[in-house]
Amino acid sequence: MTLTRTFRIVAAVAALIAGYAHFSLYQDGYKDIPIAHIGVQFLLNALSSVLIAAALLAPLFKKLPPLLQLVGPVAGLGWAASSLFAFWRSRTEGGWFGFRDGPGLNPSPEAAMSVYPEIVVLVCCAAIIASSLVVRKRSASS
């Protein structure tokens, strides 16, 4: 198994774990928070995690053009970065569109179940993209 393949699998599983945490919070009452449609944002985050996991795993099952192989990692990188930013922002004085949560890794255990896997997705997707760029550069110079 190649390192890129391993990164894809790990990132997909991590995205699904984080998505589950967001869906769990949505069901546990975040859907009823009236500020800035927080419930909808949590539900969309959970649904996005499923789509990103599928996009990350698709190249393992079907031969795709090189550019399409990057859709999952690029989407995963953006999703993880924006989720982590929203998590951080929701713990500041201004909150995320007025919504304040926290402090720290609260609610527990869902906060940890989303933050740590999102960091894993961020790192794995960055590694996949970097690896793809290195391979592309090597093939262009040969």
pLDDT tens digits for range 37-73: 999 999 999 999 999 999 999 999 999 998 899 999 9
Place of tokens 């609260």: 106
Place of tokens 């740590």: 116
Largest pairwise CA distance in the chain: 58
Tokens linked to 106: 């609260």
Which 8-state DSSP code applies to residue 95? Answer: T
Residue 56 is predicted with a pLDDT of 98
Query: Number of C-alpha atoms within 13 angstroms, CB side, residue 90?
Result: 22
Tokens linked to 53: 């996991």
pLDDT, tens digit, 9 for 90 and up, residues 92-133: 999 999 999 888 888 889 999 999 999 999 999 999 999 998
Q: How far apart are CA 104 and CA 111, in angstroms?
A: 8
Tokens linked to 11: 């990132």
Place of tokens 């890129």: 4
Whether the per-residue pLDDT at 140 is higher than 90: the answer is no
Whether the per-residue pLDDT at 139 is higher than 80: the answer is no
Q: pLDDT confidence of 134, banded at 50, 70, 90?
A: confident
Q: How far apart are CA 130 and CA 112, in angstroms?
A: 27
The alpha-helical segments, DSSP class H, found in the chain are: 3-27, 38-61, 66-69, 71-89, 110-141
Q: How far apart are CA 83 and CA 45, in angstroms?
A: 8
Which 8-state DSSP code applies to residue 37? Answer: G
The answer to whether 89 touches 134, Cβ cutoff 8 Å, is: no
